[in-house]
């Protein structure tokens, strides 16, 4: 693979296969060429190679070379075919195209080479058979036979002469060493031989030891070559003496030519050996050379014929080696060409695949300067531009992520605000489905999180929410930009006053995109407004009514005093009337005082206080009062309550008002058991709600209870279910609690009765 991604900066891949290096290719080519030249040299010099070297070394060396080349060819073929097979199995790009190309190139290389190999081997075999044809064999054999016969005749001639001289030479003269007597017998022989030499030896007997052989004399032809001394014939003569019969040998002369020699023993009459005669025939250099040449030609021919198999094997091995070299070169070249053609395309395909997988820093190496190289360069430029584009895109994505994060943070911030604000917010999308609803809206309207995503008609189809549904319908229908309306909902048998602002959302293109409802609970505000109004009324009543009461009372007392001396009936009538006037005036004064107290209720003086102590102190007042009846006041005070910042006097009044109210509800201090037989019980309990940071004070009675419709009115001034009293007790309680930053709620007790729950904020620790 010629693809390499880079981590830091794009680089052109530089990894090359070993066989792609020009140096390696050159070295391989030189090596193959050297082997080829060596093979041709061996083929040319094969005739000069000794037979032993040829049959024992050269032949097996060539066989080893053939096997090595065959192994190399097999390796190249098997390796590349296996690679092709694997590439096709793995569906590599252009594997099929490359396979077809390789097969075609291999067929173009292998088929002709195999045909040439077969035909060449057959030609070598036929040629080798023709070398040893019958006519050549006959000619060489005839020449050899002529030379051999010439030698044989010359040797026979010397043998005959030696045998004849041995017979005619006198053993006695020989024993006596009479050279003069012997010379005439032998001196004619060299002349008749033309190039002849006769040497005579005699034995010398030594008593007790083997006889010795001594050279006596020699006679030679005049035309014998004088520049070279013929070798001694002593050994040949001794051999003939020892064996007792003729011995022959050839002695080559240094100056050329050869002496054909035969030694014959000279016997005495008693059969003993008296000496030996050696006859030598000189064959001249020219004759010898011709004979040797004929013999050499014959031996060469016979040597070739005998070693025909190994020689033929050598030539066939050389031819096989050359063919294998060509085959290897052609095969490798074919594979190389196929690779050179398909590799750039394959690189581009794999590069495109890698870039498609996101590897944009990939670069390809342009191995050639042709059109494929230009294509690779264009591919690299495209990859670079894609990389740049991706970097820009990545930057944009990162900026967008930052923006999204900011938007998300802002959205969560707004959602948090929406969740925490007391204002209810509901948004509807263009399809009229609820797309936003915050916690305040859920709490104020009694909805849950399931409302999200539902149609507004469904969400607001509840009867108590019909005013809101109507408002939404009206706003949507009129496409009003903003409608503000106060809506009163009946929730849990009490009225909830909402200030609702409905706004239609219109996009920049003027398209309707939904609506938003924003509403606030203004019930406490309205209630406060009512209380303020009542306080103003109370103040006016206290001022306008209390002022005339004293003159009225004084006038009534004056009338009674004036008519004190009147007759009894008159006096009685006056007394009765003035008493009634004075009594009612006193009642009116009390009433006016309560109004004045309600109107002039001072602000609390807050101090850290244990609420349990206040409760205990207040409830001690009822110890003696409630002894006459069955009313019980139980305390369930939680120990260890945190202190609360309250005005102890006002809180004491709160507790007394609530307990008084409960006692009244139960029938007064002397009330007996409840209709069911249960004793009238008032329970005052405290608890600590650490999670909300409040101390909770609960006053519960088991009286008849208050209807749900009247519960919200209990805290209104001058509202009383008892039909007596001023109706300011619970109003004062609520006002004190509100001034302390707390809250009071009224509810039903189980199985009967009423529960007042006061929550006061704890003192911060």
What is the sign, positive or negative, of the torsion defined by CA atoms of 661, 666, 671, 673? negative
Contact between 544 and another protein by CB under 8 A: the answer reads no
Contact between 299 and another protein by CB under 8 A: the answer reads yes
Q: Are 445 and 517 in contact (CB under 8 A)?
A: no
Question: Binding segment for another protein among 226-234, 307-315, 401-409, 624-632 (CB under 8 A)?
Answer: 307-315
Instruction: Please calculate the CA angle 96-101-105 and round it to the nearest 5 degrees.
Output: 150
Instruction: Please calculate the CA angle 275-276-279 and round it to the nearest 5 degrees.
Output: 160
Residues 302, 503, 597, 755: which binds another protein (CB under 8 A)?
A: 302
Residues 298, 319, 534, 756: which binds another protein (CB under 8 A)?
A: 298
Contact between 307 and another protein by CB under 8 A: the answer reads yes
Task: Return the closest-CA partner of residue 698 out of 713, 707, 686, 716.
Answer: 686
Q: Nearest approach, Cβ of 52 to another protein (angstroms)?
A: 5
User: Which CB sits closer to another protein, 57 or 393?
Assistant: 57
Q: Which residue has the tokens 């006692």?
A: 663
Query: Which residues in 24-52 are b (16+ Cβ under 10 Å) and which e?
Result: eeeeeeeebeebeeebeebbeeeeeeeee
Residues 71, 306, 393, 458: which binds another protein (CB under 8 A)?
A: 306
Q: Nearest approach, Cβ of 220 to another protein (angstroms)?
A: 23
Q: Nearest approach, Cβ of 169 to another protein (angstroms)?
A: 27
Question: Binding segment for another protein among 151-159, 463-471, 663-671, 705-713 (CB under 8 A)?
Answer: 151-159
Q: Nearest approach, Cβ of 189 to another protein (angstroms)?
A: 23
Residues 126-145 that bind another protein (CB under 8 A): 144
Residues 21, 47, 52, 194: which binds another protein (CB under 8 A)?
A: 52
Residues 63, 341, 549, 637: which binds another protein (CB under 8 A)?
A: 63
Q: Nearest approach, Cβ of 331 to another protein (angstroms)?
A: 24
- Report CA-CA distances (Å) from 701 to 665, 708, 715: 8, 16, 17
Question: Binding segment for another protein among 109-117, 302-310, 363-371, 734-742 (CB under 8 A)?
Answer: 302-310
Number of continuous H segments (helices) and E segments (strands) in the chain: 22, 19
Residues 2, 39, 42, 55: which binds another protein (CB under 8 A)?
A: 55
Q: Nearest approach, Cβ of 109 to another protein (angstroms)?
A: 27
Contact between 319 and another protein by CB under 8 A: the answer reads no
Question: Binding segment for another protein among 26-34, 50-58, 536-544, 682-690 (CB under 8 A)?
Answer: 50-58
Q: Are 128 and 311 in contact (CB under 8 A)?
A: yes
DSSP letter, residue 498: E
Contact between 151 and another protein by CB under 8 A: the answer reads yes
Adjacent-strand bridge partners of 299: none
User: Which CB sits closer to another protein, 301 or 519?
Assistant: 301
- Report CA-CA distances (Å) from 488 to 86, 397, 443, 491, 494: 83, 50, 15, 9, 10
Contact between 295 and another protein by CB under 8 A: the answer reads yes
DSSP letter, residue 7: S
Helix-strand-coil percent breakdown of the chain, rounded to 5?
A: 60, 20, 25
Contact between 46 and another protein by CB under 8 A: the answer reads no
Residues 3, 39, 54, 614: which binds another protein (CB under 8 A)?
A: 54
User: Which CB sits closer to another protein, 302 or 616?
Assistant: 302
User: Would you mind telling me the total number of residues written for the chain in this entry?
Assistant: 765
Q: Nearest approach, Cβ of 3 to another protein (angstroms)?
A: 46
- What are the tokens at 350? 């794999």
Contact between 155 and another protein by CB under 8 A: the answer reads yes
Residues 262-291 that bind another protein (CB under 8 A): 291
d(CA 419, CA 415): 6
Name the region of 41 (left: φ>0; alpha: ψ -120 to 50; beta: rest): alpha
Residues 250, 435, 739, 752: which binds another protein (CB under 8 A)?
A: 250
Residues 120, 218, 272, 303: which binds another protein (CB under 8 A)?
A: 303
Name the region of 427 (left: φ>0; alpha: ψ -120 to 50; beta: rest): beta
User: Which CB sits closer to another protein, 291 or 321?
Assistant: 291
Task: Return the closest-CA partner of residue 219 out of 284, 152, 161.
Answer: 161
d(CA 368, CA 347): 13
> How many residues bind another protein, per CB under 8 A?
29
User: Which CB sits closer to another protein, 235 or 600?
Assistant: 235
User: Which CB sits closer to another protein, 137 or 377?
Assistant: 137
Residues 32, 160, 292, 596: which binds another protein (CB under 8 A)?
A: 292
Residues 11, 87, 97, 148: which binds another protein (CB under 8 A)?
A: 148
Pairing assessment for the beta strands 632-636 and 681-689 based on DSSP bridges: parallel
Within 8 A by CB and 6+ apart from 365, the residues are: 2, 12, 13, 14, 376
Within 8 A by CB and 6+ apart from 735, the residues are: 531, 598, 601
Contact between 309 and another protein by CB under 8 A: the answer reads yes
Q: Nearest approach, Cβ of 326 to another protein (angstroms)?
A: 23
**511 C-beta neighbours (distance < 10 Å), count:** 9
d(CA 631, CA 678): 10
User: Which CB sits closer to another protein, 49 or 386?
Assistant: 49
Q: Are 288 and 258 in contact (CB under 8 A)?
A: yes
Contact between 147 and another protein by CB under 8 A: the answer reads yes
Within 8 A by CB and 6+ apart from 183, the residues are: 217, 219
Within 8 A by CB and 6+ apart from 296, the residues are: none
User: Which CB sits closer to another protein, 295 or 555?
Assistant: 295
Residues 30, 47, 56, 86: which binds another protein (CB under 8 A)?
A: 56
Q: Nearest approach, Cβ of 91 to another protein (angstroms)?
A: 43
User: Which CB sits closer to another protein, 150 or 563?
Assistant: 150
Binding site for another protein (CB under 8 A): 51-52, 54-56, 59-60, 63, 144, 147-148, 151-152, 155, 250, 291-292, 295, 298-299, 302-303, 305-310, 313
């Amino acid at each position: 693979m010629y693809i390499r991604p880079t981590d830091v900066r794009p680089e052109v891949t530089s990894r090359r296969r070993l066989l792609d290096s020009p140096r390696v290719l050159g070295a391989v080519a030189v090596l193959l060429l050297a082997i080829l030249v060596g093979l041709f040299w061996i083929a040319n010099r094969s005739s000069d190679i000794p037979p032993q070297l040829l049959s024992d070394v050269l032949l097996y060396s060539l066989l080893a070379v053939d096997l090595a080349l065959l192994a190399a060819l097999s390796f190249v073929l098997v390796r590349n075919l296996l690679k092709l097979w694997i590439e096709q199995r793995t569906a590599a790009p252009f594997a099929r195209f490359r396979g077809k190309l390789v097969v075609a190139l291999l067929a173009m290389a292998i088929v002709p080479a195999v045909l040439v190999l077969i035909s060449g081997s057959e030609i070598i075999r036929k040629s080798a058979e023709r070398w040893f044809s019958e006519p050549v064999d006959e000619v060489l054999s005839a020449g050899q036979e002529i030379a051999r016969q010439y030698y044989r005749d010359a040797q026979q001639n010397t043998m005959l002469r030696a045998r004849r001289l041995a017979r005619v030479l006198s053993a006695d003269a020989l024993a006596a060493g009479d050279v003069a007597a012997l010379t005439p017998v032998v001196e004619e022989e060299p002349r008749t031989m033309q190039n002849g030499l006769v040497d005579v030896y005699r034995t010398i007997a030594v008593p007790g030891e083997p006889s010795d052989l001594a050279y006596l004399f020699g006679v030679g032809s005049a035309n014998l070559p004088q520049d070279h001394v013929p070798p001694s014939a002593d050994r040949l003569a001794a051999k003939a003496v020892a064996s007792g019969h003729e011995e022959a040998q050839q002695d080559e002369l240094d100056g050329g030519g050869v002496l054909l020699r035969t030694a014959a023993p000279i016997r005495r009459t008693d059969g003993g050996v008296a000496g030996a005669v050696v006859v030598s025939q000189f064959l001249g250099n020219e004759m010898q050379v011709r004979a040797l040449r004929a013999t050499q030609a014959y031996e060469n021919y016979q040597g070739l014929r005998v070693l025909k198999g190994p020689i033929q094997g050598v030539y066939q091995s050389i031819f096989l080696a050359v063919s294998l070299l060509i085959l290897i070169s052609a095969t490798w070249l074919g594979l190389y060409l196929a690779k050179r053609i398909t590799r750039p395309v394959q690189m581009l395909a794999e590069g495109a695949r890698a870039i498609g997988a996101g590897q944009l820093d990939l670069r390809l190496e342009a191995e050639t300067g042709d059109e494929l190289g230009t294509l690779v360069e264009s591919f690299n430029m495209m990859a670079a531009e894609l990389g740049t584009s991706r970097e820009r895109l990545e930057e944009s994505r990162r900026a967008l992520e930052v923006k999204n994060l900011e938007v998300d943070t802002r959205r969560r911030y707004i959602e948090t605000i929406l969740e925490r604000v007391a204002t209810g917010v509901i948004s509807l999308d263009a399809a009229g489905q609820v797309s936003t609803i915050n916690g305040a809206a859920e709490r104020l309207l009694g909805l849950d999180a399931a409302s999200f995503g539902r149609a507004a008609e469904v969400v607001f189809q509840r009867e108590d929410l019909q005013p809101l549904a109507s408002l939404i319908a009206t706003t949507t229908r009129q496409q009003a930009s903003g409608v503000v309306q106060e809506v009163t909902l009946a929730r849990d048998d009490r009225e909830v006053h909402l200030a609702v602002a409905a706004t239609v959302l219109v996009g920049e293109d003027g398209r309707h995109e939904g609506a938003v409802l924003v509403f606030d609970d203004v019930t406490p505000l309205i209630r406060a407004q009512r209380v303020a109004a009542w306080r103003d009324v109370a103040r006016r009543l206290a001022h306008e009514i209390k002022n005339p009461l004293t003159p009225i009372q004084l006038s009534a007392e004056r009338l009674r005093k004036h008519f004190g001396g009147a007759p009894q009936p008159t006096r009685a009538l006056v007394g009765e009337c003035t008493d009634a006037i004075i009594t009612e005036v006193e009642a009116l004064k009390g009433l006016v005082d309560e109004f004045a107290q309600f109107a002039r209720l001072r602000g609390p003086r807050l101090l850290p206080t244990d609420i349990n102590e206040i409760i205990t102190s207040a409830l001690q007042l009822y110890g003696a009062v409630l002894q006459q009846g069955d009313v019980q006041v139980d305390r369930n005070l939680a120990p260890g309550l945190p202190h609360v910042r309250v005005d102890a006097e006002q809180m004491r009044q709160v507790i007394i008002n609530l307990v008084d109210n409960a006692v009244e509800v139960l029938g007064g201090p002397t009330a007996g058991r409840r209709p069911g037989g249960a004793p009238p019980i008032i329970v005052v309990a405290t608890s600590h709600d650490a999670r909300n940071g409040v101390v909770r004070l609960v006053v519960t009675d088991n009286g008849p209870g208050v209807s749900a419709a009247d519960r919200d009115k209990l805290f209104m001034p001058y509202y009383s279910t008892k039909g007596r009293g001023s109706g300011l007790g619970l109003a004062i309680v609520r006002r004190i609690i509100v001034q302390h930053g707390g809250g009071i709620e009224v509810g039903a007790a189980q199985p009967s009765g009423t529960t007042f729950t006061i929550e006061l904020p704890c003192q911060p620790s």
